[in-house]
Amino acid sequence: MSEEKSFKYVIIGGGVAAGYAAKEFVNQGVNPGELAIISKESVPPYERPALSKGYINLQNKATLPNFYACGGSGGERQFPQWYTDKGIELILDTEIVKADLASKTLVSSNNGQIFKYQTLIVATGSTVVRLSDFGVEGADAKNIFYLREIQDADKLVYAMEVKEKGKAVVVGGGYIGLELSAALSVNNLDVTMVYPEPWCMPRLFTGEIASFYETYYANKGIKLVKGTVAAGFNTNSNGEVTEVKLKDGRTLEADIVIVGVGGKPLTSLFKDQVEEEKGGIKTDGFFKTSVPDVYAIGDVATFPMILYDEMRRVEHVDHARKSAEQAVKAIKAAEEGKSIPEYDYLPYFYSRAFDLSWQFYGDNVGESVLFGENDPKSPKPKFGTYWVKEGKVVGAFLEGGTPYENKGIAKVAREQPSVESVDLLSKEGLSFTNTL
- Which CATH number goes with the domain that contains 369? 3.30.390.30
**DSSP one-letter string for 48-84:** GGGGGTGGG-SSS---TTTTBTTGGGTS----HHHHH
Segment 176-204 mean pLDDT: 96
Are 283 and 374 in a shared domain? Answer: no
Residue 302 domain-assigned?
A: yes
Residue 313 domain-assigned?
A: yes
Percent pLDDT > 70 in the chain is 100
Q: Report which of 188, 231, 228, 195 is spatially closest to residue 214, judged by C-alpha positions.
A: 195
335-362 pLDDT, tens digit each: 999 999 999 999 999 999 999 999 999 9
Query: Which domain does 397 fall in, by range?
Result: 355-435
5-38 pLDDT, tens digit each: 999 999 999 999 999 999 999 999 999 999 999 9
pLDDT of residue 1: 61
Give CA separation, 319 vs 30, 302, 316, 346, 356, in Å: 23, 11, 6, 9, 23
CATH number at residue 304: 3.50.50.60
Are 82 and 187 in a shared domain? Answer: no
Segment 296-320 mean pLDDT: 97
Tally the domains of the chain: 3
User: Is 417 strand, coil or helix?
Assistant: coil
228-252 pLDDT, tens digit each: 999 999 999 999 999 999 999 999 9
Residue 349 domain-assigned?
A: no
Mean pLDDT of the chain: 96
Are 9 and 118 in a shared domain? Answer: yes
Residue 350 domain-assigned?
A: no
**pLDDT(2) > 80:** no
Residue 185 domain-assigned?
A: yes
Segment 304-312 mean pLDDT: 98
Are 380 and 424 in a shared domain? Answer: yes
Confidence (pTM): 0.96
Are 279 and 401 in a shared domain? Answer: no
Gyration radius of the chain over CA positions: 23
| Residue that finishes a domain, picked among 303, 335, 367 | 335
**pLDDT(376) > 70:** yes
378-390 pLDDT, tens digit each: 999 999 999 999 9
Q: Per-residue confidence at 3, pLDDT binned at 50, 70, 90? A: confident
Residue 345 domain-assigned?
A: no
52-106 pLDDT, tens digit each: 988 888 887 888 889 999 998 889 999 999 999 999 999 999 999 999 999 999 9
Task: Give 357's strand partners.
Answer: 352
Are 257 and 135 in a shared domain? Answer: yes
* Helical spans, DSSP H, in 127-202: 150-162, 175-186
Rounded-to-integer distance, Cα 149 and Cα 64, Å: 13
Are 137 and 196 in a shared domain? Answer: yes
How many Cα neighbours within 13 Å face the side chain of 241?
30
| Residue that finishes a domain, picked among 242, 261, 280 | 261
